[in-house]
Amino acid sequence: MDWNNRTVVITGATTGIGKATKDLLRAGGAKVYCLDIVEASDDDAAYFIYCDVRIMQSVADAIHRVYEKEKKIDMLFANAGIHFLGSIEDTDEESLHNVIGVNVLGVFHSLKSVLPIMKKQQRGSIVLTGSDQCFIGKASSAAYGLTKGAIGQLTKSTAVEYAAYNIRVNCICPGSINTPFLDRVIDQFAAANQMNVQEVQSIFEKDQPLGRIGQPAEIAAAVAFLLSDESAFTTGSLLSVDGGYVAQ
């Protein structure tokens, strides 16, 4: 796919999966805007917009700035997300609201801001970041899991409603991927279970049938496919890229 002249917005593109996708699409020639609360020191400031996805106005303003400059938005990767580890009893109100705020409301705000533009264009491609937890449950993951279950549903309802406007919406469902997010999960899991980090790392590797943790670039490649015209007849789908984890 030729990415030249494509305008892409990615939320949460400073580190991890969002960054890998930003790098891949930019290498192909796309103009990629990074909406994030943290600016990467080595990034092109012209394409960074401060945006807290939890706040509707923050997202609306950021999308408006991109549209004013580019006069179009071809693609959205609504990817910003945080983790929360803990049982229901251990989940305090503030943490619950925060994880729902970033992972669910953040994606909803992004859709609400971009869909009117894509509707006017009669064209658009959107990818939301789900998780293996779109399909399965994990212990100590009720709050995070509910947010990713919601993303699976949001993918399907949005895809069905906006197909009439030639807008496609799909969901990428990563397994355990080598990012700062996973490092934090492993550290917390180790502390909660009195294990060392290497032991937890090895459990996470063995849990995935391919026997290893995935790389952000492997998710970026699948996201690029879903965003691009190569997947022109695909909408409302949840694509697992998880070393076979949910196939078990």
Ligand X SMILES: NC(=O)c1ccc[n+]([C@@H]2O[C@H](COP(=O)([O-])OP(=O)(O)OC[C@H]3O[C@@H](n4cnc5c(N)ncnc54)[C@H](O)[C@@H]3O)[C@@H](O)[C@H]2O)c1
Q: Which residues in this chain contact ligand X in the complex, by CB under 6 A?
A: 11-12, 14-18, 36-38, 51-54, 79-82, 102, 129, 131, 174, 176-177, 179-182
Give 172's strand partners: 129, 239
Cβ pair 48, 97 in contact under 8 A:
no
Minimum distance, C-beta of residue 53 to ligand X, in the bound complex (Å): 4
Give the residue with the Cβ less far from ligand X, 77 or 162.
77
Cβ pair 171, 129 in contact under 8 A:
yes
Q: Which of 33, 67, 144, 245 is catalytic?
A: 144
Minimum distance, C-beta of residue 166 to ligand X, in the bound complex (Å): 26
* Residue 144 annotated among the catalytic residues of the structure: yes
Give the residue with the Cβ less far from ligand X, 158 or 176.
176
Rounded CA separation 181/219 (Å): 14
Residue of 42, 47, 45, 3 whose CA lies nearest to 24: 3
Minimum distance, C-beta of residue 6 to ligand X, in the bound complex (Å): 21
Rounded CA separation 227/230 (Å): 8
Rounded CA separation 12/190 (Å): 26
Cβ pair 111, 126 in contact under 8 A:
yes
Minimum distance, C-beta of residue 219 to ligand X, in the bound complex (Å): 8
Give the residue with the Cβ less far from ligand X, 69 or 138.
138
Helix or strand (DSSP H, E) at 219: helix 216-227
Give the residue with the Cβ less far from ligand X, 180 or 244.
180
Give the residue with the Cβ less far from ligand X, 80 or 117.
80
Minimum distance, C-beta of residue 165 to ligand X, in the bound complex (Å): 25
Report how far apart the first and last C-alpha atoms of the chain are (Å, whole number).
33
> How does DSSP classify residue 102?
I
Catalytic residues: 144
